[in-house]
Amino acid sequence: MSHLTLAQEKLKMLHLSESALYLSSLVKEAEEKEVSYLSFLNSLLEYEQKRREEKQNEKRIKWATFPFYKTLDEFNLDEQQSLSRKQFNQLRELTWIEQLFNVILLGPPGVGKTHLAIGIGLEAIYQGYKVMFISMGELVHALKTEEISRKSHTRLKRIRNANLVIIDDLMFMAMDQQEANLFFHLINDLYNKASIILTSNKAPKEWGELLGDPAITTAILDRIIHRSEIIHLNGDSYRMKHRSSIFA
């Protein structure tokens, strides 16, 4: 067994598998550039750290269950005049997550609410936060089947352990009393533990019509709006404006 192969085996035994795969390339580069032993070691450790962070991010993105991959760099502020560059940058800085602030994105369909929410979620993952995305319809189903479905149980466990929870299309449908009660208990579990991003085409004052129970509505609003920023996005639907045509 060569010295290189032996070193690779020892790296694997120490759970430095990424370094083991990269070792031959790094040794060749070090020999060509005649780098010092310490410089070589630092390069090896930096590579291992970088790959571990990349793999951790890949895992967190998979767990987040985003419906699509859209970054903040892809969000066109020129298409959304109701959000200033300063506000956009403040959202991107994510200091509000440390302060346990919530963000409510309001506006009609197609103005970029979900894209903005996912972009913030991806930015949070790259900064080390645990993020979960779920639509309101999926959330209601998961809450109702948590006790009988392993998938629902796992998903809600990750939601309760997240630093940032994104709930998309809030209040797109009316809830019965049981569903509203389950939703309240989830919001209560997240209160003072995680930040929440909500997207909705209905203002908070209209949520009571869909939640039904005035007491539950008040309790939910109290916890969500206690520390929150409400952002109104308006304008024409981006999807309609840039739709494709078979007759183009």
Q: Could you give the CA distance from residue 233 to residue 44 in angstroms, rounded to a whole number?
A: 47
Q: How do the domains of the chain map onto residue ranges? A: 3-61, 72-241
Q: Could you give the CA distance from residue 181 to residue 212 in angstroms, rounded to a whole number?
A: 10
Q: Could you give the CA distance from residue 35 to residue 27 in angstroms, rounded to a whole number?
A: 10
What do you get for the CA distance between the two ends of the chain, in Å? 64
User: Which positions ≥6 away from 237 have C-beta within 8 Å?
Assistant: 108, 109, 110, 111
> Is CATH 3.40.50.300 the right assignment for the domain spanning 72-241?
yes
* pTM (predicted TM-score): 0.81
Q: Which residues pair with 104 in a beta bridge?
A: 198, 230
Is residue 174 helix, strand or coil?
coil
**Cβ atoms of 178 and 188 closer than 8 Å:** no
Mean pLDDT rounded to a whole number for the chain: 86
pLDDT digits (tens, 9 = 90+) for 65-87: 999 999 999 998 887 788 889 99
pLDDT of residue 42: 82
pLDDT digits (tens, 9 = 90+) for 84-93: 899 999 999 9
DSSP 83: S
* Long-range pairs, 237-241, Cβ under 8 A, ≥24: 237/108, 237/109, 237/110, 237/111, 238/76, 238/79, 238/110, 238/111, 238/112, 239/109, 239/110, 240/110, 241/79
pLDDT of residue 171: 66
**Cβ atoms of 108 and 236 closer than 8 Å:** no
Phi, psi for 186 (deg, rounded to 5)? -65, -45
**Cβ atoms of 130 and 161 closer than 8 Å:** yes
